[in-house]
Amino acid sequence: MFVDDGEKFGGWPGTKDWVYTRGWLAQFLDAVEGLVAAGDVRLTTPGAALDTVRSSGLAYLPTASYREMEAWALPPAAARRLAVLEQELGEARMAGPEGALVRGAHWRNFLVKYAEANRMHKKMLALSGLCRERGDPPAARRAIGRAQCNDAYWHGVFGGLYLPHLRNAIWRNLALAEAELRRGEGLVVERLDFDGDGAEELWIHSGAFSALVSPERGGVIEEYTVFEHGINYADVLTRRREVYHEPPPAPGHAGGEASPPPADGTPSIHELEQMARLQQLPPIDHVDRALFVDRVLAPDVTLDAYAGGAFASIACWSRHTFEASLEHSADAVEVVLRPGAAPAGGLLEKRIRLHKGGELSVRYRWDPAAFPVDACFCPEVSLAREAELELAPAGEVWQFPITTVSRSERGFEETVQGYSYTPRWPVRAGEARLIVQVRPPT
């Protein structure tokens, strides 16, 4: 069987010239035509071959992807160890039958490596089950099928998960499906382990919106989808250290010497990986991005240091478990969150209010005496689209675009993944309120 990616016929760097201008496609077709005319090759379909070619025995294909993707699914440290092992074994052994035994991670490890991919995947599974329960309406089933497109769920040399428009397309179809399945529904709160990580989340939804609150991770909102807009406003990629950010190893180690560009044809994945190097490391986030990541900061933390991730917090609740209770009214639900055991930094009460129409606000109360008098209470809101915040009391808001540096077949690319908004209230205020006003797509 002959199978190749459509991108190799013009989209991959150099293939337009190689395949068309320099005649590879015409030469390939002429060669196949000659083999057919000589009786050496018969063109057929897989189905016809199954009917006419005798089986050679039992075989179970491994649950595997191609070797490069299995390496990309590894955490950075493990990926570097795998590269060293491949270098030690040598090109000849890796190209032979022994090379097939040197494996990286299962494809599903991308769902472990990237929480953003896992949330899309688990939301798709949840809606797929709900769709079956409700008779599989065709519009919802079609949208769920489109949301299963794999391109946005992984990342290697290619943009994949790092490309916001791919994630946007997944979430837009999930919003279409959920809007269809929940049309006319009232406000509902479900307690469940939504993302399969062993911790309970709150899935809050109505006929207008869907939100996911994580009490185990500081009471943050990890999904906030407004169906009418077709947008998950919490879909912001966390800045991570990727293995390709690191400087090349010393000569004699894996990747220490870049291969020269090919004399003919186009560069392979390995050659592209070796040819692209960064001059300096991009900033990373020390906690996952979400809505309402709460911190107390010292007065000497600057906006530049904050945007670059080069700061320390006096207190940060992002990895602290909160106890969650619910207060219902006729048209809204309020999630009341308090630390299960007071962390260093004292008491915090957080009340997230979601109206059945999707309006979102949060109220905070904290103990001013637990912090330095000149500190600031600073909840960070990471949003996929630009928005407006309404504050009470009024205060300064730090904001900046959240950009990542990733590698693609074209080299390194800087991509805006979303926008960070951080109100800064003097800690002596003791309480504050924040309303998030999102904008529909233009």
pLDDT the model gives residue 264: 61
Q: Is 103 within 8 Å of 81 (Cβ atoms)? A: no
Instruction: Give the whole-angstrom CA distance, residue 382 versus residue 221.
Output: 10
pLDDT the model gives residue 12: 81
pLDDT the model gives residue 2: 75
Look at the pTM and tell me if it is higher than 0.85: yes
Query: Which SS3 state, helix, strand or coil, does residue 2 take?
Result: coil
Residue-wise pLDDT tens digits, 234-271: 999 999 999 888 875 554 444 444 445 555 666 665 56
Count of alpha carbons within 13 angstroms of residue 334, beta-carbon side: 13
Is the domain 291-438 a CATH 2.40.110.10 member?
A: no
- Note the helical H segments in 90-205: 91-95, 109-113, 115-133, 138-146, 164-181
Instruction: Give the whole-angstrom CA distance, residue 170 versus residue 78.
Output: 29
Backbone torsion region of residue 73, taken as left when φ is above 0, otherwise alpha when ψ lies between -120 and 50, otherwise beta = alpha
pLDDT the model gives residue 257: 42
The tokens for 353 are 């209010």
- Listed in order, strand segments (DSSP E) in 171-305 are 188-192, 201-205, 209-214, 220-226, 231-232, 291-297
Instruction: Give the whole-angstrom CA distance, residue 436 versus residue 265.
Output: 52
Query: Which SS3 state, helix, strand or coil, does residue 113 take?
Result: helix
- Note the helical H segments in 14-137: 15-16, 24-37, 46-52, 67-72, 76-89, 91-95, 109-113, 115-133
pLDDT the model gives residue 100: 87
pLDDT the model gives residue 335: 98
Q: Is 118 within 8 Å of 151 (Cβ atoms)? A: no
With a cut of 50, list the residues of the chain below it in pLDDT.
251-259, 344-345
Q: What long-range pairs does 246-251 form, CB within 8 A, spacing at least 24?
A: 246/76, 246/80, 246/281, 247/277, 247/278, 248/274, 248/277
